[in-house]
Amino acid sequence: MVECRASSGPADPRFFARVGPFDAAALAEAAGADLRPPRQGSFPQEGYAGIAPLQAARARDVSFLDNRRYAHLLEHTEAGLVIVAPAFAEKVPPHSAALVTATPYLAWSRIARLFHPQSRSKAGIHPSAVVDPSAVVDPTAEVGPFVVIGAAVEVGPGCIVGSHAVVADGVRLGADCRIGAMVTLSHALVGDRVTILPGARIGQDGFGFAVGPEGFETVPQLGRVIIEHDVEIGANSTIDRGSVNDTVIGAGSRLDNLVQIGHNAQLGRCCIVVSQAGISGSTVLEDYVTVAAQAGLIGHIRIGAKARIGAQCGVMSDVERGADVIGSPAMPFREFFRNVAVLRKLAKKASGSAKDDSGKV
């Protein structure tokens, strides 16, 4: 049996390189947090060596508490340094130093990155890759085995193009993009620092056909996909290119795995689309919209800025700026849960009176 329940803790050296150690001051600076020394004892002489969850951390580890749900673990942690929000600062054990910050998860993220920096591109093109002579691949870019790069493609500095990825004719990748293994990219202009996880499909034909006399006729899909800076796209997600206009993923947006984006859809800045959600063609998301898992949006509607679409929500019409909706069809959160409660009550009553009527269950 694979040993699984006895976790080795995070950052198994089999998979993750580690740098350091770092002293408390360096960590406080990276985290942008206030450093409080341990109430008993002192900082470890040789600095902190790594990160670990509260229940596994030891004296030279950094840990963190972000989710209130796990607050009970704080009291007994052996971590030498704990990142916490001000409300929990007093609950850090006496032997632990604390990094106090209003944004513990962000601080944790930065410290974890300090110990485990992302690998950089290893400049060069694998000899098995098929690169069109008209493509321009920056000499600092890394191109993996079995990659196909088409005519007139541009690959910017610092890019990593994973094995088997296909970057079709004319596609432009900005700087420092990470294209996962087996990604397909066509008809797309991609900004800087864009990450695409394995198996995502970007730029293929949208779902367009007209009814002809002898069956469906495919409508040419003549738009593009525009992916702005700092976007991340999950594994096996699909983003169709536009039919007439472009499909646009706004800067800083984050798409999870198995997400579907239809042709001509436009996402604003910093939108979040969680796994298995789908956005139909020509629908517009303004900035900072969140679409939770498995939600579905019909085509040709507009979702106002900062709106939040709940999990499994079915959205059939425009959503106002800042609104929180859920249900299928979508309605305000409050209304949805009120409906659920009322129906439950009515059903109980109905089943109660049915019982009364019959004189038995």
- Catalytic annotation, residues: 263
Site string for a copy of itself, 93-112 (x = CB under 8 A): ----------x-xx-xxx-x
Which amino acid appears at position 168 of this protein? Answer: A
Q: Is 54 helix (H, G, I), strand (E, B) or coil?
A: coil
Residue with tokens 């001051």: 25
Site for a copy of itself (CB under 8 A): which residue of 79, 81, 143, 298?
298
Query: Quick count: other Cβ atoms within 10 Å of Cβ 263?
Result: 26
Q: Which stretch binds a copy of itself (CB under 8 A): 33-41, 81-89, 91-99, 257-265?
A: 257-265
Which residue from 102, 351, 352, 355 is in contact with a copy of itself, where contact means CB under 8 A? 351
Helix (H, G, I), strand (E, B) or coil at 116: coil
Nearer to a copy of itself, 40 or 67 (CB): 67
**Contact call for residue 265 and a copy of itself (CB under 8 A):** no
Least distance to a copy of itself, CB of residue 241, Å: 8
* Residues forming a β-bridge with 326: 331
Q: Considering only 21-29, 36-44, 79-87, 325-333, which stretch makes contact with a copy of itself by CB under 8 A? A: 325-333
What is the per-residue burial (b if ≥16 Cβ within 10 Å, else e) of 130-169?
A: ebeeebebbebbbbbeebbbbeebbbbbbbbbbbbbbbbe
Rounded CA separation 271/248 (Å): 12
Nearer to a copy of itself, 42 or 339 (CB): 339
Residue closer to a copy of itself by CB (options 39, 216) is 216
Determine which residue in the list 21, 93, 198, 304 makes contact with a copy of itself, applying CB under 8 A.
Answer: 198
- Window 151 to 190, contacts with a copy of itself (CB under 8 A): 152, 162-164, 166, 169-170, 174, 180-182, 184, 186-187, 189-190
Cα–Cα distance, 251 to 175 (Å, whole number): 14
For the chain, the 3-state helix, strand and coil shares in percent, each to the nearest 5, are 15, 25, 60
- Residue (41 or 322) nearer to a copy of itself, CB: 322
Angle at 248 between CA 142 and CA 122, to 5 degrees: 5
Count interface residues toward a copy of itself (CB under 8 A): 130
Q: Counting contacts by CB under 8 A, is residue 77 touching a copy of itself?
A: no
Closest to 176 (Cα-Cα) out of 199, 193, 152, 197:
193
332 binds a copy of itself (CB under 8 A): no
170: left (phi over 0), alpha (psi -120 to 50) or beta: left
Q: Which of the residues 113 through 142 are near a copy of itself (CB under 8 A)?
A: 113, 116, 118, 126, 128, 130
**Contact residue for a copy of itself among 34, 120, 342, 352 (CB under 8 A):** 342
Q: Which residues pair with 98 in a beta bridge?
A: 36, 82
DSSP E strands, 16-138:
34-36, 50-51, 61-64, 81-84, 97-100, 124-125, 130-131, 136-137
- When the beta carbons of 43 and 245 are compared against a copy of itself, the nearer one is 245
Nearer to a copy of itself, 17 or 41 (CB): 17
If binding is defined by CB under 8 A, does position 318 make contact with a copy of itself? no
Asked if 224 touches a copy of itself (CB under 8 A), the answer is: yes
Residue tagged 């990219």 (tokens): 185
Judged by CB under 8 A, the stretch of 6-14, 19-27, 38-46, 71-79 that binds a copy of itself is 6-14
Q: Is 306 in the site for a copy of itself (CB under 8 A)?
A: no
Strands 154-155 and 184-185, how do they pair? unpaired
Q: Pattern 7-46, binding to a copy of itself, x per CB under 8 A?
A: x--xxx-xxx------------------------------
